[in-house]
Amino acid sequence: MRILSLLAFALALATASQAQQRLIYDDDCSQDVDCVNTLPILYALEDRGEINILAMVADSANPLTAPVMKIFANYAVHPQTPIGANQSNDPASALCLKNKCNESYWTTGLVQRFDPGDTRANYLNCVAVYRKALAHQPAHSVAVVVTGFAPCLNQLLASGPDAVSKLSGAKLVKQKVKLLSVMGGRYPQGTEWNFESDAPGFHTLFSQWTKQNGYPPVYFNGFANGLDVLAGPTAIASPMTNPTKYGLDLAQTPQRPMWDMLSAMFAVRGLAYQDVTYFTLSQPGTISIDAQTGADTWSSAADSGHYVITNAASNETFMALFDGYAHPSGFLAKPAAK
């Protein structure tokens, strides 16, 4: 009986391990303060056993984006999380400058309080972190979530073989990645801040990242999905010790829309979880990004492996998951019914 119990326990562990989603999270975390909500939820998912965070990638040219990610890794007691920094000046288009896409009104204060003096120079280049994170993973096992800009992914795809892997970046992605989940765009057509700020980068990325070129599917979470899904920390959170609370205080807002977390949630839990349907999926098609304006257009005329996801659950259902996530009665609770 003891042997059978051990075998059952081992089987349960193996099943849980197989269900754990390997994840790379790639975000700008600079101009908008929404990442201070998303990052602790991702670590809550890791502590819950749902994901294995292979790396965090700071895709903004802001020198404090990677340090902010490190603050949240330390706060979650996951200091070992690899963090890669965009060491280039991209995105640097005219629209990026207009949108102040690499600027921030809150990162300086956050870093000064929780890790003064840290800067992106203290981190590996994001491409090196991407390559190392992907190199030894099983085939088609990694979900990549991009909720900021495209420079790190584009640099990865352009990278050649190195000491980490004999594969090019493009071949690494095709071999190791199961899906790309992207926050950006307005569908079936429109203009949204992320794509507009890095119009040339996203045009390049999605022109290349297609089913026809051998890439895994891309799932697009548009602006409308997260606009009215609001979240923040618990009311008892102290800005002296809680970086989410202090970040939102610096931004003079108690909550932010959860666009980015919806993209991550889809990558982790898919269309449905525990009898709750979160999203619906479009037919396959093609997303095109205008390289000058960032305007996006969805078409079903050709199957490029691009899909648009739409919220099926109510805003209240998502807010019950995300709001007050720092407390067990928040994110870790059973999802609310629609």
- Distance between CA 2 and CA 151 in Å, rounded? 54
The one-letter amino acid code at 16 reads A
- Distance between CA 231 and CA 55 in Å, rounded? 24
Q: What is the model's pLDDT at position 235?
A: 82
Closest CA to 132 of 104, 165, 109, 108: 165
> Is 20-322 a domain of CATH 3.90.245.10?
yes
Question: Along the 338 residues of the chain, how does pLDDT read in single tens digits?
Answer: 333 333 333 333 333 334 799 999 999 999 999 999 999 999 999 999 999 999 999 999 999 999 999 999 999 999 999 999 999 999 999 999 999 999 999 999 999 999 999 999 999 999 999 999 999 999 999 999 999 999 999 999 999 999 999 999 999 999 999 999 999 999 999 999 999 999 999 999 999 999 999 999 999 999 999 999 999 998 889 999 999 999 999 999 999 999 999 999 999 999 999 899 999 999 999 999 999 999 999 999 999 999 999 999 999 999 999 988 644 444 544 444 43
Task: Kindly state the tokens that stand for 114.
Answer: 């929780």
Per-residue pLDDT tens over the stretch 127-147: 999 999 999 999 999 999 999
Strand partners for 144: 24, 180
Per-position DSSP letters for 37-86, written without gaps between them:
HHHHHHHHHHHHTSEEEEEEEE-SS-TTHHHHHHHHHHHTT-TT--EEE-
Closest CA to 243 of 117, 131, 76, 9: 76
DSSP at 285: B
pTM (whole model) above 0.75: yes
- Distance between CA 17 and CA 1 in Å, rounded? 24
Q: What is the model's pLDDT at position 224?
A: 97
E strand spans, 66-213: 83-85, 124-125, 142-146, 177-183, 189-190
CA angle 218-168-128, nearest 5°?
85
Strand partners for 272: 277
Q: How far is CA 98 from the centre of its chain?
A: 24
**Number of H helices and number of E strands within the chain?**
14, 16
φ, ψ of residue 22 in degrees (nearest 5): -75, 135
